[in-house]
Chains A and B, each alone.
Chain A
Amino acid sequence: MTSKVTRKPRIAVFKFASCDGCQLSLLDAEDELLGVAGAIDIAYFPEASSSMLKGPYDIGLVEGSITTHHDAQRIQQVRRQCKTLITIGACATAGGIQALRNWKDVDEFIRIVYATPKYINTLKLSTPIAEHVPVDFELRGCPINKHQLIELITATLAGRKPNVPTYSVCMECKRKGNVCIAVAQGVACLGPVTQAGCGALCPSFDRGCYGCYGPMESPNTESLSHQLHILGQNNVEITRAFRSFNAWAWQFRKAGEENERM
Chain B
Amino acid sequence: MSKQQTRTIKVDILARVEGEGALYVKLKGNQVLDVKLKIYEPPRFFEAFLRGRHFSELPDLVARICGICPIAYQMSAVHAIERALGIGIDPAVRQLRRLFYCGEWIESHALHVYMLHAPDFLGYPDGIAMARDHQAIVQQGLRLKKAGNGIVSLMGGREIHPVSAAVGGFYKVPSKSALKELVDELTWALDASLATAHWVSGFDFPDFEQDYEFVSLFHPEEYPFNEGRIVSNRGLDIDATEYEESFTEQHVQHSNALHSVLRGRDSYMVGPMARFNLNFGKLPDVAQQAAHDCGLQIPCRNPFRSIVVRAIELVFACHEALRLIREYEPPPVPRAQAAARASTGHAATEAPRGLLYHRYVLDQDGLITSAKIVPPTSQNQKRIEEDLRHFVSQVATRPAEEITWKCEQAVRNYDPCISCATHFLRLQLERD
Residues of A within 8 A of B (CB): 15-25, 27-28, 30-31, 33-34, 37, 42, 45-52, 67-68, 71, 96-98, 100-101, 104, 106, 108-110, 112-116, 119-120, 122, 126, 142-143, 198-199, 201-202, 204-207, 210, 212, 237, 240, 244-245
Contact = CB atoms under 8 A, between A and B. Distances in A.
Interface string B193-235: 0000000000000000000000000000000000000000000
A15 B139 contact: no
Given A143-B158, A245-B64, A52 B12 contact: yes
Contacts of A116: 251, 253
B45 A119 contact: no
Given A17-B44, A97-B44, A143-B158, A50 B115 contact: no
B128 A34 contact: yes
B42 A20 contact: no
Most central of B20, B42, B48, B252 by chain A CB within 10 Å: B42
B42 A48 contact: no
Contacts of B65: 19
B160 A48 contact: no
A50 B15 contact: yes
Contacts of B86: none
A121 to B, nearest CB: 9
B17 A49 contact: no
The 9 closest A-B CB pairs, nearest first, are: A21-B67, A49-B126, A51-B125, A109-B48, A50-B15, A100-B49, A115-B251, A201-B157, A98-B44
B323 interface: no
- Size category of the binding interface on chain B: 35 or more
Contacts, number: 189
B419 A50 contact: no
B98 interface: no
B263 interface: no
Nearest to B426: A46
Interface string B146-187: 100100000001111101101000011000000000000000
Contact of A210 (B49, B60, B119, B131): B60
B20 A15 contact: yes
B111 A27 contact: yes
A201 B162 CA distance: 9
B131 A20 contact: no
Contacts of A109: 45, 48-49
Contacts of B139: 34
Given A110-B45, A205-B172, A24 B160 contact: yes
Interface in B59-83: 60-61, 64-68, 70
A226 to B, nearest CB: 22
B61 A34 contact: no
B44 A49 contact: no
B196 to A, nearest CB: 15
Contact of A204 (B13, B46, B115, B157): B157
Contact of A108 (B20, B48, B138, B424): B48
Nearest to B254: A119
A166 to B, nearest CB: 20
Contact of B42 (A67, A143, A199): A67
A143 B157 CA distance: 12
